[in-house]
Structure 1
Amino acid sequence: MGMGGAEIVRPGFEPVRALFMEIAATRPQVNAALAAYVDGAPVVDLWTGPAYRADSIQGVYSATKGAAGIALALLIQRGLVDPDAPVADYWPEFAAAGKDTITVRGLASHQAGLVNVDGGFTFDEFTGHTRLAERLAAQRPFWEPGTGHGYHALTIGTLVSELFLRVTGQPVGEFFRREIAEPYGVDFFIGLPEREEPRVVPSLPIDIGGDGPAPFELPPFFRQAMNIGVEFEEGSNLPGLRSFRAAGVASIGGFGSARGLARLYAVATQEVEGRPPLLTPETLAAVAEVQVSGADLVLPFPTTYSMLFEPAAPTAGRGSFGHSGANGALAYADPDLGLAFGYTTDTPSSVGGADPVTADLSHALAAAIRS
């Protein structure tokens, strides 16, 4: 399903391959893969490094949020969720502690102030879902909802997955599998089946800056959002745990290939293999619409969010949307260019977020498209 054997370089995209190989030559130990679709067809599918094979898959941390975002967009498109309705319309317990007016739109754009629960949460609560969802429903927000935004790094997956359970009877990972991944041949999983385990390439651990003095002043809710200070089993390398990989945590628990990520954004936005795009132009405009922008109450730099997406294209295409991941992953659609982009790696960058080389690769793809 969506697996490839041979690398792909469509005529005109040779400069992208040349750049990819040039980068690889300077970092021989880094495993990385790049895939892109343009106007519904794969134009590059490349991988490098000692561990990556044609069918390797990788934990992508927060790039998972983009996959959940495409699933949420589908619910909205089908009329099953109204983004301007209160979350409590679907999840009545959520109204507790003054949260009755928080809308789906506000929740999905990191404005709800539910970056954690009092006292933090355990690994079992995070992977088990139900108890953490109950605690979040009862929780008073850490800031007044709507007065600011802050990246719900871990909890947004639990919040959105509970919304899916209430509306569809399925967690987001199951909905994603049934409605998107399997019908469209997308090599991406929110909840990794045992049979896929041999394909996984381990991620190198990430330092989220919880210990020792920070090199910059941390925003007020950074430590809460990252659940720092709670005994969190091997917290620096959750994707290394089979129990985590299986759990389907919709914030950071996704696994897949660069090929799968590129295909995901392609089938969402382009006609692929004669099938119309999953999302209509109206839905695409709605999901890409910026909801908040500016100082972040969690992250030490300004952020911009739409509903579960960042405007992730380094080419800054109008209407682009996607998400990066803490270990270097990046996936996005840039509808202006007709581009769907997927990148995975096992090696976190020192700055966190997308591997910095994704910017150069994106610009090389844009140049090839325009030439």
Structure 2
Amino acid sequence: MDVQGMVADGFEPVRKAFVRNFEQRGDRGAAVAVYVGRRKVVDLWAGTADADAGPGADRPAPWAQDTAQVVRSATKGVAAAVPLLLHQRGQLDLDAPVGTYWPEFKANGKDRVLVRHLLSHRAGVPVLDTPLTPAEAGDGVSGPEAVAAQAPVWEPGTAHGYHAQTYSWLLGEIVRRVTGRSIGRWVAEEIAGPLGIDLWIGLPEAERARVGRLAAVETPTPPAAQGLRVRAKRSVSDAYRDPASLTRRAFGAIDPLPDENDPAYRAAELPASNGVATARSLARFYAALIGPDANSGRRLFAPATLTLARTEESAGPDRVLVVNTRFGLGYMLHGPASPLLSPASFGHPGRGGSLAFADPETGTAFAYVTNGMQQNVTADPRAQALVRALRDCHAAQGR
């Protein structure tokens, strides 16, 4: 495996884990980046930019230093920063009813849904009675209209369940109502542009050629772990196979599922699922949430906002994911469903592989992106191998 990039002294175990992801865990094209404070300590990439390119492919394009990738639900962590920054600037009250900013949303018993409920997956609208087509999902109008008209499937604020797709229209519309800008434009103008990072919600046409192709790949299972893994996944798998379950309906709010390699899909602004980024830029984004950016020196979150992001808002049985999950305001927190670096960590995985998070206690920001989509939602074995290696590095260095 021809691995490109660098690791700082003391972080070599992360490189070893990255290589093993290709040798043993089915990776085809991927990158990982880690910052500690303003110091870049890991920046690695390898494999092919096209996950469809199997061993017999004719000279597939290699994953390059600037290859970007669709990161699926890891986009949610980027999107969550927008309402939190609007709150930090005094433009958005997290404890106000959503209807204060978006009057149409009050329909069908949602008048008491608070802004914070959107971020903590407590709004009660993870599903749509009538799913949207991929074209409708990305047109900027149909999604907000659908969630505004939707009746909640539980009393808002009383439980939580992962809003896998509807998160796009809930957050996107509240940002548009408050700022007059789309969430993708806001991210470009207020986050990615000032930081100088390659991160988009709504991919510009000029950047299309840089983005790798996603493909489903098998998840290799060591023989010793086969029984444990089957038992751990059975309830989620059963729920997803049931067309009437909240699990299936939440992920199926767009039907049929979009072709994530379609340029039209990538150009749409779906902050739940279609962000595009390099691992390096995604890590720098998280580093800027907790401290000064490595290049620009900018810091995004004030201390009080950082506390909001990582303070538990939802915990326990997740009505959609059918496991116990923990969420702050917009961010998944460390726990069995999504192990991060430490109990202080906050971030977001992407279904099938990607993961990005920050850990304020060690000043660490981590991002892993891949084009090989495996059958998992929150705890990809490749990402977890890298996190374990990083945890060992910190332990060896006394962090």
Q: Same fold by TM (over 0.5)?
A: yes
Distance 1:223 1:366 in 2: 34
Whether 1:369 aligns to 2:394 is: yes
Aligned match of 2:225: none
Alpha-carbon displacement from aligned partner over 1:281-329 (angstroms, at most 9, x marks no partner):
1110111111111111111212111122101573452332110001200
Tell me if structure 2 keeps the 8 A contact 1:127–1:247.
yes
Whether 1:267 aligns to 2:288 is: yes
Distance 2:159 2:101 in 1: 24
Whether 1:294 aligns to 2:319 is: no
Runs of 4+ in 1 over 6 A off after TM superposition: none
Distance 1:347 1:261 in 2: 18
Question: Alignment partner for residue 168 of structure 1, among 154, 179, 193?
Answer: 179
Whether 1:149 aligns to 2:160 is: yes
By how many angstroms is 1:49 displaced?
1.0
**Structure 2: 5+ residue stretches without partners:** 50-62, 219-234
AA in 2 matched with 1:63: A
Distance 1:314 1:109 in 2: 18
Structure 1 pair 108/274, CA: closer, same or farther in 2 (3 Å)? closer
Farther-moved stretch of structure 1 (285-294 vs 311-320): 311-320
Tell me if structure 2 keeps the 8 A contact 1:329–1:353.
no
By how many angstroms is 1:106 displaced?
1.0
Aligned match of 1:252: 273
Whether 1:121 aligns to 2:119 is: no
**Structure 1: 5+ residue stretches without partners:** 1-5, 208-212
Whether 1:344 aligns to 2:369 is: yes
Distance 1:231 1:215 in 2: 19
By how many angstroms is 1:23 displaced?
2.9
Aligned match of 2:349: 324
Cα RMSD over matched residues?
2.2
Tell me if structure 1 keeps the 8 A contact 2:35–2:284.
yes
Tell me if structure 1 keeps the 8 A contact 2:318–2:324.
yes
Structure 1 pair 147/23, CA: closer, same or farther in 2 (3 Å)? same
AA in 2 matched with 1:239: E
Q: Count the aligned residue pairs.
A: 358
AA in 2 matched with 1:337: T
Tell me if structure 1 keeps the 8 A contact 2:288–2:299.
yes
Whether 1:178 aligns to 2:178 is: no
By how many angstroms is 1:8 displaced?
2.4
Seq. identity, %: 39
Whether 1:360 aligns to 2:371 is: no
Q: Secondary structure at the match of 1:238?
A: coil
Question: Alignment partner for residue 12 of structure 2, among 8, 11, 14?
Answer: 14
AA in 2 matched with 1:329: S
AA in 2 matched with 1:278: L
Matched ranges for 1:78-227 at <5 A: 78-205=89-216, 215-218=237-240, 220-227=245-252
TM-score by length of 2: 0.84
TM-score by length of 1: 0.90
By how many angstroms is 1:75 displaced?
1.0
Distance 1:224 1:25 in 2: 36
Tell me if structure 1 keeps the 8 A contact 2:101–2:178.
yes
Aligned match of 1:210: none
Aligned match of 1:39: 37
